[in-house]
Structure formats: structure tokens, C-alpha cells
Amino acid sequence: MIKKKLFLLLILIIIIVSVAFYKRDDLKHKLLTSLPSHFQVALQIINNPERIKHFNNDYNVNFLPKTQFINLNYLEKKLDFESLEEITNIYSNEKEKISYKIGLYKDLIYAIDSRANVKRFKLILNNDGIELIDYKNISTNIENAALVKDFLIHDEIIYMSYILDTKNCKQLKIAKSKINIMPLNFRIIYEPDFCINNLQAASLQFYKHNDNDGLLISTSVEQSDKQSVAQDLKSIQGKILFLNFKNNKPIIFSYGHRNPQGLLALNNIIISTEHGPKGGDEINKIEFNGNYGWPISSYGEPYYEESIKPLLDKNHEKNNFIEPIYSFVPSIGISTIIKLPNSFSPHWKNNFILASLNNKSLFRLKFDNEYSKVIYSERIFIDKRIRDIKYYKNINAILLAQEYDGTLGILYNKQD
């Protein structure tokens, strides 16, 4: 027994030394997340004693169920998606690897995971809380999808963006299916005739451009020395595209993007949420033919590179690039943004809800009337990576697609 305790103590000392002296932040994080939470806190304080100042610096910070003005209710429902080993993240040590997105059609909730497995269900509010009912698996004709990037439900049509991984090529596909047929029968409406490697974003949003209906499609650039293609108008990567439904051909709507994870179109206003480098996640107001500066300008800096002077220009405007509405320093792992109806709470009028991954939080935002700046931001800590969010009016709730355990988070208001 004594030998076992000495062995465990030796392992703990090795981990402490590794955390204290290892240079790679990603591997240091992986060591920490492999330990129980109370050990993580202790080791972080040992490694950096100044962290104890956080206990004296959390003035006026609330945690669920409390927020600044209202108390919310939060619960989780487990969805039976299977874990996929191919889903990886250097900053997470979770055993399960589930990633999915959610969409709404009338009172139905659709959830689609990375392999195009589809679940459909409803939520009802009763005296015992929230009940998940009418749960069904929905068949589709999609096979061998390497990675579903996004899906959108609009006018009884489901649109989906995904990567098809063939022997020698990864191809982007945009497909659609009528929602009222079973199984869902997706038909390809757009597929570039070249290979795309490491495409991290292909977000979808319905939009009307020059009186033509179509889809906005965001695309990322590779995490490599090829990031300059974001400025190349002959490439579709690092762009927001508009796919015209009349001819299913895209045009470049805006460019100079790094990794736009979220899109939101409100009439003629388009908001994108974009992963930046270290300390440079952005909220952008998208303008037609606008250039957003990547990889020349950013308020962040490249990972794993150190320099006496900034490696990226800290002024977009002087280069004729469009400045972000807001830039998160440090980064939060930005994901999806939605407009929240005023019916959710009289305390949360004209609010937007922004989700994050590594920060494991929601952010309650308000923009000015011109969508040129963020007036305020309230962080709401959830402690889960949040890939997608939707507002579900049937129970006045915000739905959270939570990685990697595959749970559905439900944040609802019974107070007002």
C-alpha cells in the first residue's frame, strides 16, 4: 500500500514538473485535463501562484442559475449519438467525441452529427421539468460523409454542408432535401471540382442578394503557410460565398476571412463569428465585396511564434480592410450567434446570444443600432463546449449543442 502511494506521489511530481516547465501550451493543457478537477485547480495555482488573485477578483460575477438580472434554469438531455474517434482537439481530453448541430422546424428539433446521423424530437415543459418526447432516428441517403460542417432548415428544405473523403481527395458538398419525405433524400446543389484539405468551416445561412434567393456559405483557410489564399479572389477559401439558387453558382461575397464559424442574416444585416489566431476571435459585420484582412491584419498573433514586434498588423482600416465589430482578447473559441426574441425576458431585450467552445460559455450581447459596436457583453459560464445554439419558443428556451458528451443543454426562463 505504501509503495502504491509513493508511486502515485512520484507520478504527481512528474506531472507538476511537466506542467511547470513544458513550453507547449497545448500539451500542458492536455496534462492538466487528464486529472480530476480539484487536482487541476491545485496544480494551476502551484504552477502560477498569481492565479489565487482570481478569488479576490470575481466581484459581481454570477454563476448559473444566476445571471446579472435574472435567474435561469439549466438542465441537460442525453442524445444517443455514437462517439467518433476521428473527432480530435488538442485542447480537450474528453473520452467521448461527439459533435453535432441543431435546427428547428415548427415544433420539431433536428440534430445532425458529424456523420450525418439525424435525430428528431420535441421538448415539452411540465410540472416535473422538461421532457424529451417523440424521439426518432431519421434515415438519409448520405453515405461516407467524413464531416458534416453545418445544416440549415428553411422553407421546408434542409440544406447541409459536408466533406466527402475519397481515397485521394476531400471534397466540399452542399446538398438539400425536402424535410417532409422519409428517408431524407439529399441532392447535391454545389460541389467545387477541386480538393479541399482541412476545411474547418462551411456555415450556411439563407440570404437574398440582388433580389435572388440563395445561401451564404463561409469557408476557412488551412492552418498552414497557404493562408494567403484568403486574399486570392480565384480561391473560394477564406471567403463568404453567395450561392444563387437560380443557377447554383457561387460568387465571392466577402474575403480575407480565417475561419468564420457562425453566420447570421437579419434582413440586410449579416453577422459572422470568426476564429482568429491566439487572442483574435472576431465578430464581423459583413459587407458585399468587403475585405476583412486575414492573414495581414488581426488583433491576435500566430500560435507558437514569438517576436519582439507584432507579426500581424493591428490596424485594419489603414490597409482598407474592414475592422471587426469586436475582437476577443484572449480568444474564446467562438462558435454560433443567434438573435434572441424579446419574449425570452424583459431584462434581455434586443439581445444576441453568442456561444463558445474552449471558453465553455455563452455571451449575452447587445449591438448598437448600426451594428458597428458591442454595447455590452455578459459571460454565462456553462462548463461545456458549445458547438451550436437555437431558440426554441415552445418552452421559451435556448438549446445548446454540447461537445463532446453529446448532451443537449437547455437554458430556460421560468421567472418572468
Q: Which amino acid is present at 236?
A: I
Has residue 59 been placed in a domain? no
pLDDT at position 127: 83
CATH label of the domain that carries residue 288: 2.120.10.30
Q: How far is CA 55 from the centre of its chain?
A: 29
Same domain assignment for residues 11 and 120: no
Same domain assignment for residues 24 and 87: no
Q: Is the pLDDT of residue 120 over 90?
A: yes
- Say how many CA atoms lie within 13 Å of 148 toward its Cβ: 23
Pair type for strands 385-392 and 374-381: unpaired
Give me the percent of the chain exceeding a pLDDT of 90.
Answer: 69
Same domain assignment for residues 41 and 176: no
Angle between helix 25-33 and helix 2-21 axes, rounded to 10 deg: 150
Instruction: State the total domains in the chain.
Output: 2
Q: Which amino acid is present at 11?
A: I
pLDDT at position 148: 93
Query: What radius of gyration do the chain's Cα atoms show?
Result: 22
Q: Do 297 and 316 touch, CB atoms closer than 8 A? A: yes
Same domain assignment for residues 141 and 287: yes
pLDDT at position 126: 87
DSSP-assigned letters across all residues of 59-115: TT---TTB-SS-B-EEEEEE--PPP-TT---TT---S--B-EEEEEETTEEEEEETT
Give the Cα separation of 176 and 189 in Å (integer). 7
pLDDT at position 93: 60
pLDDT at position 29: 61
Same domain assignment for residues 139 and 263: yes
pLDDT at position 30: 61
Dig out the grid coordinates for 209 from the structure.
442578394
Angle at 178 between CA 172 and CA 180, to 5 degrees: 140
Same domain assignment for residues 225 and 342: yes
Q: Which amino acid is present at 355?
A: A
pTM as predicted:
0.88
Q: Do 80 and 123 touch, CB atoms closer than 8 A? A: no
Give the Cα separation of 230 and 284 in Å (integer). 16
Q: Do 74 and 392 touch, CB atoms closer than 8 A? A: no
Q: Do 337 and 264 touch, CB atoms closer than 8 A? A: yes
Has residue 64 been placed in a domain? no
Q: How far is CA 63 from the centre of its chain?
A: 22
Average pLDDT rounded to a whole number, residues 132-147: 89
Average pLDDT rounded to a whole number, residues 181-208: 93
Report pLDDT digits (tens) over 216-233: 999 999 776 789 999 999
Same domain assignment for residues 276 and 381: yes
Has residue 62 been placed in a domain? no
**Domain around 46:** 2-52
Give the Cα separation of 185 and 178 in Å (integer). 7
Report pLDDT digits (tens) over 40-93: 666 667 777 777 777 677 777 788 889 999 999 999 999 999 988 767 665 556
Has residue 156 been placed in a domain? yes
pLDDT at position 128: 78
Has residue 58 been placed in a domain? no
pLDDT at position 364: 98
Has residue 63 been placed in a domain? no
Same domain assignment for residues 88 and 142: yes
Same domain assignment for residues 204 and 81: yes
Summary count for the chain: helices (H), strands (E): 3, 25
pLDDT at position 74: 95
Same domain assignment for residues 264 and 325: yes
Q: Is the pLDDT of residue 333 over 70?
A: yes
Q: Is the pLDDT of residue 248 over 60?
A: yes
pLDDT at position 14: 65
Same domain assignment for residues 35 and 160: no
CA dihedral 201, 202, 203, 206 (to 10 degrees): 160
Q: Is the pLDDT of residue 23 over 70?
A: no
pLDDT at position 383: 93
Q: Do 65 and 74 touch, CB atoms closer than 8 A? A: yes
Has residue 387 been placed in a domain? yes
Give the Cα separation of 210 and 16 in Å (integer). 60
pLDDT at position 147: 87
Has residue 66 been placed in a domain? no
Average pLDDT rounded to a whole number, residues 107-131: 94
Q: How confident is the model at residue 31 (pLDDT cuts 50, 70, 90)?
A: low
Same domain assignment for residues 266 and 187: yes
Q: How confident is the model at residue 286 (pLDDT cuts 50, 70, 90)?
A: very high
